[in-house]
Amino acid sequence: MSTMARTFFRNGPDYREGRSVSFADIRNCFDFKSIKIGKWVSVAEQENAAGLFYDALADLMLILEAPETLISLRGTLSLMYGTGGRPGVAAHYDAANRSFALAKNAGPGSIAHEWFHALDHYLVDKAFADAPTSMFASKAWLSDATPVAHPLNDYLIACFKAILLDEQGDGPSDLFVASASMDKQLGQLYYSQPEELCARAFEAYVQDANVTNHFLVKGTKQSPEAKAGLYPAAEQRIRINQAFYQYFSVLGTLLMRH
């Protein structure tokens, strides 16, 4: 069965009230720069997928308490479905094109992760004065880039500290240690990269919200990755969630004013 033909658990509001939506509606609502659909995606699959995407993005907006403009990063983010992907990868963010792509029959539960990659990339030149625009803000912070003085950036950096450092702020966090250990076992550098750590931490924050949507996010609590320590747990998860809540509360308030 096609992934998009399945239903996904969610308990969010009924935004559409039974109405069908298209990807064109999604683009107009959230002001995405562009939306591209793969040529092998049937009309029926498009209709079903559009509803799932719309609800997931609206749920994300509700969880973050922010307007539509945040979801599209002020109209700079593009969305691809069933095209623009990488072989064997269900979902990914393409920094060169500022787009995130979900494979046609895979990728559900990946939206929160890939969207945070997009935000992390978008923020680098807003949060740091001397970091390359190709870099993620999380990696720029870990690389000792010079922060742009602004209260909002202080909240962002507090998120990075909660994710990457221990409670005392002078050693690696439990999440980083577990991720580095997994990378060593697998002979790779992936899970312990700051942008990946932060995206998984954001997934956990979204999954812990009162709104549940398994098309948006799943797997941060009971998945094999979670059991291996690749998602925040225990006290660190609480600290990270508090830091994210403070950041997005301030960000959402500022965006509502402009």
pLDDT in tens, 17-69: 888 899 999 999 999 999 999 998 899 999 999 999 999 999 999 999 999 99
C-beta of residue 78 within 8 angstroms of C-beta of residue 61: no
Question: What is the C-alpha to C-alpha distance for residues 132 and 145, in angstroms, rounded to an integer?
Answer: 10
Residues 69 and 94 in one domain: yes
Residues 103 and 171 in one domain: no
Residues 220 and 151 in one domain: yes
Residues 189 and 75 in one domain: no
Question: What is the C-alpha to C-alpha distance for residues 139 and 193, in angstroms, rounded to an integer?
Answer: 8
Domain range for 200: 120-257
Residues 128 and 253 in one domain: yes
Question: What is the C-alpha to C-alpha distance for residues 141 and 158, in angstroms, rounded to an integer?
Answer: 11
Q: Taking the CA of residue 38 as centre, how many other CA atoms within 13 Å lie in the half-sphere pointing to its CB? A: 16
The C-alpha angle with vertex 187 and arms to 181 and 191, in degrees rounded to 5, equals 50
Residues 169 and 243 in one domain: yes
pLDDT in tens, 159-192: 999 999 999 999 999 999 999 999 999 999 999 9
Is the pTM above the cut of 0.85? yes
Q: Is there a domain that residue 181 lies in? A: yes
Residues 43 and 135 in one domain: no
Task: Identify the band that residue 87 occupies on the pLDDT scale cut at 50, 70 and 90.
Answer: low
Distances (CA, A) of 208 to 138, 147, 216, 240: 22, 29, 12, 11
Residues 95 and 155 in one domain: no
Residues 170 and 233 in one domain: yes
